[in-house]
């Protein structure tokens, strides 16, 4: 592909003996050609000048771009494996190779934020898988709710993990979550889901029905078939006089638990 093509024209010499000079030049990738023809006032000139050049190797910018791609690729590989600290190191090298790359800088900032809580989450254990999914969604940045849910899954598996809780809280705040996950206050065997259901029930008792519904939904985001969460959500809707929604939720309970006598009675009262 021709990058540029140019013509030139000029006069050279004293008024009595002048040389008219014209020519052209072109550049094609790393190859360039420059030709000039001279004509004297005394007659046609045999003066022809030609220059050819060819550049070998890559430009500094090309080399930097290649290095950035290599380092980012290595960083992404480490990242998907759960080695977040190594991923941050590779992204740092990419920035050193090409300072000012905004895309890489933004990626590095989010990786570093996650790494400050959890440097790595490698292995096939369920908790590690949830943490990896959560961090990957966080760095991607397009759907922080997915990140929140994945990290809540991880925390639910081990509510004593302060590092995962710290990471979860950071993502929850950025995602605009109204109620930030806290340390579990219940018995030793309490999970995050247990705590949420307990809090949802308490919200119904306190007359905070919208909060009861929201807390139940937090559980259902992780466990869509959690019957207790559905029961509490139905109660919340019922107390807010949103009877159609309450009926829909309770019917879902009966699909999962056809022998649920309490819910059957609630539905009968609404008919």
* CATH number of the domain that residue 190 is part of: 1.25.40.10
Q: How many helices (H) and strands (E) does the chain have?
A: 11, 4
> What is the reported pTM?
0.72
Is residue 80 in a domain?
A: no
Of the residues 34, 54, 74, which one is the last residue of a structural domain?
54
Of the residues 10, 36, 54, which one is the last residue of a structural domain?
54
pLDDT digits (tens, 9 = 90+) for 93-137: 999 988 888 988 999 999 999 999 999 999 889 999 999 999 999
Is residue 41 in a domain?
A: yes
Is residue 138 in a domain?
A: no
Is residue 165 in a domain?
A: no
Is residue 60 in a domain?
A: no
How much is the average pLDDT of 53-60?
54
Task: Give the angle subtended at the CA of 112 by the CAs of 106 and 118, to the nearest 5°.
Answer: 140
Is residue 72 in a domain?
A: no
Of the residues 12, 29, 54, which one is the last residue of a structural domain?
54
Residue 55's pLDDT is 59
Structural domains of the chain, count: 2
In sequence order, the 6+-apart residues with CB closer than 8 A to the CB of 89 are: 75
More reliable by pLDDT, 2 or 217: 217
Residue 41's pLDDT is 54
pLDDT digits (tens, 9 = 90+) for 31-47: 565 656 555 555 545 56
pLDDT digits (tens, 9 = 90+) for 185-203: 767 778 999 999 999 999 9
Is residue 250 in a domain?
A: yes
Residue 62's pLDDT is 62
Is residue 96 in a domain?
A: no
- CA 119 – CA 13 distance, rounded (Å): 75
Domain that includes residue 40, residue range: 2-54
């Amino acid at each position: 592909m021709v990058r540029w093509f140019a013509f030139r024209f000029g006069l050279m010499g004293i008024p009595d003996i002048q040389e008219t000079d014209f020519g052209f030049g072109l550049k094609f990738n790393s190859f360039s050609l420059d030709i000039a023809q001279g004509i004297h006032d005394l007659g046609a000139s045999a003066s022809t000048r030609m220059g050819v050049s060819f550049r070998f190797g890559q430009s500094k910018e090309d080399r930097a771009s290649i290095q950035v791609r290599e380092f980012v690729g290595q960083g992404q590989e480490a990242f998907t494996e759960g080695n977040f600290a190594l991923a941050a190191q590779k992204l740092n090298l990419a920035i050193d190779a090409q300072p000012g790359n905004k895309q890489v800088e933004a990626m590095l900032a989010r990786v570093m934020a996650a790494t400050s809580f959890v440097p790595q989450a490698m292995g096939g254990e369920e908790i590690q898988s949830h943490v990896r999914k959560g961090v990957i969604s966080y760095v991607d940045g397009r759907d922080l709710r997915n990140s929140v849910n994945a990290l809540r899954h991880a925390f639910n598996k081990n509510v004593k993990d302060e590092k995962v809780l710290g990471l979860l809280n950071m993502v929850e705040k950025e995602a605009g979550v109204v109620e930030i996950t806290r340390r579990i206050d219940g018995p030793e065997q309490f999970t995050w889901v247990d705590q949420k259901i307990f809090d949802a029930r308490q919200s119904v008792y306190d007359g905070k029905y919208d909060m009861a519904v929201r807390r139940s939904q937090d559980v259902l985001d992780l466990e869509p078939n959690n019957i207790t969460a559905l029961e509490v959500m139905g109660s919340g809707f019922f107390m807010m006089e949103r009877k159609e929604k309450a009926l829909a939720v309770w019917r879902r309970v009966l699909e999962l638990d056809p022998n649920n006598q309490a819910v059957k009675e609630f539905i009968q009262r609404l008919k």
